[in-house]
Amino acid sequence: MYLGAAAVLVSECIKLPVCLAVISRQLGGPRQMLADVRQRVVVGWRDTLAMGLPALLFGLQNMLFFVSVSNLSATSYQLWSQSKTLTTALFYVLYLGGALRRLQWLSLSLLCAGVGLVQASDSKKMKASEASLWALFVLFGLERAALAASGPFVGFTPTVWSVVWLRALGGLLVAAVIKYADNIVKTYATAVAIVLTCVVSSVLDGSRPTRAFLQGMSLVLASVLLYNRKPKPSPPPLDDGEAAARRQAGRL
């Protein structure tokens, strides 16, 4: 069994030179890139420390990905991962004092119902796996003896390497979508990814999804689209002349 923590580390090491190459191209060369990185990371060390906690949480999330896919089908993981919208909305309301529209509350209800249907239909098909949470902490010294004996790349088959490269590419694509696209594009990309994962998994596994699973997937897709739907902009207020003209037209 490969180590999920090692796969995450390799994936991040792949993304680092790609990001540095992009910065170098944008700024006009390696020298400008090194100066910019030094200014942002070393000179602005307070901002670097402030990003430390989100970075650690992001790394933990990536490691939990490998635990999840070891125990869930690919489509189930895709659907379950959308439940982060619920926790994000709750933190947004409870801690940031934000407000959600009625359509967003409806979408969260659909999300809960959809995930519940997926769980009910997929609970008898959980993958048998020997993976456990110990893999999350191997690279941090809790299993030094096993790590020294087998090395960090134990179990790295071509399939695992493919997953590592796809995770690295996916992380770069997410950053590109956030920078160059809007939330609507991200929403439809998520919906398309869920449907494609379901189709490809059905073809590779040779199994047909149950009716409850399809119903749950439909509810999750509907919740994703509704939650990120932008409200219609309010019409601009009328000045006194336009308001008087409309009142006069109404009398006629």
What tokens does 152 get?
Answer: 């960090």
No. of helices (H) and no. of strands (E), the chain: 12, 0
Could you tell me the pLDDT band of residue 71, with boundaries at 50, 70 and 90?
confident
Average pLDDT estimate for 72-84: 77
Say if CB 43 and CB 197 are below 8 A apart: no
- Which residues 6+ apart lie within 8 Å of 32 measured at CB? 24
User: 51 is in which domain, residue-wise?
Assistant: 4-231
- pLDDT confidence of residue 130: 43
Query: Does residue 246 form part of some domain?
Result: no
Say if CB 171 and CB 15 are below 8 A apart: yes
Q: How many domains does the chain have?
A: 1
Could you tell me the pLDDT band of residue 129, with boundaries at 50, 70 and 90?
very low
Say if CB 63 and CB 136 are below 8 A apart: yes
Asked if residue 206 has pLDDT above 80, the reply is: no
Asked if residue 131 has pLDDT above 50, the reply is: no
Query: Does residue 242 form part of some domain?
Result: no
Percent of the chain with pLDDT over 70: 77
Task: Work out the mean pLDDT of the chain and round it to a whole number.
Answer: 76
Query: Does residue 108 form part of some domain?
Result: yes
Query: Does residue 99 form part of some domain?
Result: yes
Radius of gyration of the chain (CA): 24
Higher pLDDT, 40 or 241: 40
Query: Does residue 245 form part of some domain?
Result: no
**How wide is the angle at C-alpha 188 spanned by C-alphas 211 and 68, nearest 5°?**
60
98-103: which pairs have CB atoms within 8 A and are 24 or more residues apart? Answer: 101/231, 103/226, 103/227, 103/229, 103/231
Among residues 83, 121, 102, 85, the alpha carbon closest in space to that of 207 is found at: 121
Query: Does residue 157 form part of some domain?
Result: yes
Query: Does residue 32 form part of some domain?
Result: yes
Tens of pLDDT along 133-165?
444 454 445 445 556 677 777 778 888 888 889
Query: Does residue 238 form part of some domain?
Result: no
Average pLDDT estimate for 12-33: 90
Asked if residue 223 has pLDDT above 60, the reply is: yes
Q: Could you tell me where the beta strands, DSSP code E, fall in 110-213?
A: none
- pLDDT confidence of residue 147: 63
Could you tell me the pLDDT band of residue 234, with boundaries at 50, 70 and 90?
low
